[in-house]
Amino acid sequence: MLLRDVLGVKGRAVHAITPDATLDDVVTELVRLNIGSLLVRETPSGAVIGIITERDVLRAQASHRGSLEELRVAMFLTSELITVQPEDDTTEAMRLMTAHRVRHLPVIQGDELFGLVSIGDLVKAHHDELERANLDMLNYIQGGASSAIIPAGQ
């Protein structure tokens, strides 16, 4: 399955924050949106300059023992992004996530942001694909009959 297909189901909306925002702002947005990362952009529609994740916030809190209101995104964002393209396969995206120990990948088409996939999105896509394959196999075995399970002896 291609990442384009995953984003076709999930949607392409991506949430972002600016580098001058505080980590308290990040936590507020992550909780409000029930997500694990925000892309960092100079302006709401500007170029992506990095990503800030739940892990980044935890690392910042552990190393700077202060109020999250005093810590700026610019100090803790990850600027060296691992990215993928819409035509990449989900298996390749999962391989990259595993190799680089990341949970979110920006999907870039040319110079433009196409979307963002998380490990949860990819696990769901693989699960759905396996469910479809299992149903197809069951239908094949049953000779194209309904996928309803018929109790033994009937």
Query: Do the domain assignments include residue 56?
Result: yes
Range of the domain at 105: 3-141
CATH number at residue 128: 3.10.580.10
Position with higher pLDDT, 137 vs 89: 89
- 3-state helix, strand, coil split of the chain in percent (to 5) is 45, 20, 35
In the DSSP assignment, the letter for residue 36 is: S
Query: Do the domain assignments include residue 146?
Result: no
Query: Do the domain assignments include residue 72?
Result: yes
SS3 24: helix
Is the model's pLDDT at 145 over the cut of 80? no
> By the 8 A CB rule, do 52 and 35 touch?
no
Query: Do the domain assignments include residue 120?
Result: yes
Position with higher pLDDT, 145 vs 115: 115
Query: Do the domain assignments include residue 100?
Result: yes
Query: Do the domain assignments include residue 149?
Result: no
Query: Do the domain assignments include residue 35?
Result: yes
Please report where in the chains the tokens 């991506």 appear, as a residue.
Answer: 14
Query: Do the domain assignments include residue 107?
Result: yes
- Reported confidence tier of residue 99, pLDDT bands at 50, 70, 90: very high
Is the model's pLDDT at 154 over the cut of 50? no
pLDDT in tens, 39-92: 999 987 888 999 999 999 999 999 988 899 999 999 999 999 999 999 999 999
From CA 145, how far away is CA 64, in angstroms rounded?
A: 63
Question: Which pair of structure tokens corresponds to residue 58?
Answer: 């935890």
Into how many domains does the chain fold? 1
Spell out a b/e string for 115-151, using b for 16 or more CB atoms within 10 Å of the CB, else e. Answer: bbbbbebbeebeeeeeeeeeeeeeeeeeeeeeeeeee
Regarding pTM above 0.75, the answer is: yes
* Range of lowest pLDDT (11-15, 41-45, 129-133): 129-133
